Structure 1
């Protein structure tokens, strides 16, 4: 029994890889947050939640974010950079570390 307890304690101490990615984006001089939860398949931007699917047409990796009446491709690149087009505006983001 003591070995089981010890094993559980060791396993619980191992960090779990989070499937949440956070970015800070610049819009009109303001910093706004984007939160991507890959496990739940959601992207949160400007108090709206979008369903996401993998987007193959991005340079490195990305997601297609959709909600009724809205859609955009959130694409990542190197060094924590990401961007997306919303309307006629290019939104540029940096991954939070």
Structure 2
């Protein structure tokens, strides 16, 4: 079995790349958002307005990706600090 570090390096293990929410509530709300967006786009009608709407959504999605990346990094850092603390305590108790 390949190590986790190797799998991350070759790109076969990407926590964000292969992640899909499992929550039923998430998917219900996703359907609601899509329905609202379709209604909104239909009301805009004008091609220029649709282009601006699409541009706004693209920027918002990019912002959301950046936010998730930062949250992942923060969570990983906290987990690493926790493991370091546990290891430090265990090595000092053993002496």
TM range, normalised to the smaller chain?
Answer: under 0.3
Q: Which has the larger radius of gyration?
A: 2
Q: TM-score, normalised by structure 2?
A: 0.25
Structure showing the higher helix proportion among its residues:
2
Structure showing the higher strand proportion among its residues:
1
Q: TM-score, normalised by structure 1?
A: 0.25
Q: Which has the higher contact order (CA 8 A, sep 6+)?
A: 1
